[in-house]
Structure 1
Amino acid sequence: MDLSLMIESLPRLLEGAVLTLKLLLLTELIGFICALPLGILYANGSRAARTPIYAFVYFFRGTPLLVQIFIVYYGLAQFDFVRQSVLWPWLRQPFVCALLACALHSTAYTTNILRGAIQAVPAGEVEAARACGMSAFQVQRFIVLPIAFRLMLPAYSNQAIGMLKGTSLASTITLMELTGVANTIVASTFQPYEVFIMAALIYLTITLVITRCFKYLEYALSKHQRPLKSSAAIPGQVRHAD
């Protein structure tokens, strides 16, 4: 094992990791914002509203992310109205195409996760809120969504980690993120073992940080579920010697 190559390749791999993190954070942010109204409609909307959402979720969950990236990057350029639109200077960029495909992919998964979390909210709490005179909007805002967010965190953390690994596919459209940089180094050194070990260690480090962040968030949102700490002595109580 060439340790010197592993050390020399680390700065370039970290530069690629910065682009990976940028792509991941923007993907999850856009995906969550788009999934919020879709998840609510998917769980509570009419059949006419749920049908197109179901088709959207089914397509992006049922096809590989690599195919979706190719459709966006290579497919949109086949339409004249796209090339003549004001969006074409953006859509011709690999980063924007990768972000668009990943964001749609993330939106579909997050929408389905949020739908399941909303439907898992105990019906008794919803009925109690309605009995207190809350409107439908207030029930969703103060009761359903806070509980659903807490319930969806374990599944959403898995989705975020899966999306981290999915960003490596952006290298197929010449985007120099972590995997793309690793491939470039391997092409010039012909030593894939050392380079990809370093790339894997960086991915593992990012995954560890994501996991810890979600665990802390779960802990912070479940204070009411933790048992109260019993005090060693009641304040003001005088202990007498036998």
Structure 2
Amino acid sequence: MDSGFIALLAEKLVEGLKTTLLLMAICGVFGNLLAVPIAFARISPRSSLRKPAYIFILVLRGTPVLVQLYLFYYGLGEILSRTPSLRHSMLWPYLRSAFGYAALALTLNTAAYCAEIWRGALEGLPKGQVEAAKSLGLKPWQFRLLVILPQAFRNALPALSGQNVLLLKATSLASTITIFEVMGAANLVRSQTFRVYESLFGAALVYVALTVAITFMFSLVERWVNKPYRH
């Protein structure tokens, strides 16, 4: 493998890595935050909250991420492009960007999957602890924020770690709607040099390194959260 090709591949992968990290950071943060209220709505006794949350999760989990990306980019993007008021507004540079549609699709997809993880963690809490916490006289939002969520977070951490690794892999699909991330960088080098295996192998190494980093980060958080419970 010649040094010129290695230098080109490394340069493009580093450029794509910046986009991948940015996309994952946005989708990971907002997707995980959005998942919490959806999970509470999912277990709510009120059908007006429970049913929409159930439908949201069902639709997002029941369709492939690639289909969702296409629907947002080619579907919603086409609808917005035909709205003159939007085309001449300050928002148009952002609305016509493929990055925004990819971020929206992956954020909602992450929220749907993580909401089910949170739902399982919330429903798995011991009933005795929940009833004891309610007897403290806390307001509903205080009860959920100070008592329920910390315990559910500890239970949900292992599954959330795996889901965020899946989010990393899903970002590779963003290259199909013209976003230059790690997979897009590998495809560009492959098309320019016709070095298929080397380009894809380079991208694979980047994804493996990122997976190790994510797993390690979550393991540190898990140790920190579980530290008070160790004897």
The alignment's TM-score, normalised by the length of structure 1, stands at 0.88
State yes or no: 1:201 paired with 2:174.
Answer: no
Q: What's the RMSD between the two structures over aligned residues?
A: 1.7
Distance 1:81 1:9, change over 3 A: closer
Match of 1:102, SS state, is helix
Choose 193-202 or 123-132, whichever is displaced more: 123-132
Choose 139-148 or 66-75, whichever is displaced more: 139-148
Give the CA deviation at 1:128: 1.2
Match of 1:188 among 170, 192, 206: 192
Q: Equivalents in 2 of 1:55, 1:82: separation in Å? A: 29
**CA contact under 8 A between 1:6 and 1:195: conserved in structure 2?**
no
Q: Give percent identity, aligned residues only.
A: 39
Give the CA deviation at 1:43: 1.9
**CA contact under 8 A between 1:82 and 1:88: conserved in structure 2?**
no
Which segments of 5 or more consecutive residues in structure 2 lack a partner in the other structure?
none
- Paired residues for 1:34-183 under 5 Å: 34-79=34-79, 83-84=83-84, 85=86, 86=89, 87-183=91-187
- Residues 138-166 of structure 1, C-alpha deviations (whole Å, 9 max, x = no match): 32122111001111111111110001000
Match of 1:222, SS state, is helix
- Paired residues for 1:213-228 under 5 Å: 213-227=217-231
1:238 alignment counterpart: none
**CA contact under 8 A between 1:126 and 1:139: conserved in structure 2?**
no
Choose 75-84 or 27-36, whichever is displaced more: 75-84
Give the CA deviation at 1:224: 2.2
Q: Equivalents in 1 of 2:136, 2:169: separation in Å? A: 46
Choose 122-131 or 186-195, whichever is displaced more: 122-131
Match of 2:16, SS state, is helix
Distance 1:55 1:36, change over 3 A: same
Q: Equivalents in 2 of 1:20, 1:112: separation in Å? A: 25
1:232 alignment counterpart: none
- Paired residues for 1:2-13 under 5 Å: 2=1, 4=3, 5-13=5-13
Over 4 Å off, 4+ runs? none
- Name the amino acid aligned to 2:161: S
Count residues with an aligned counterpart. Answer: 226
Give the CA deviation at 1:45: 4.3
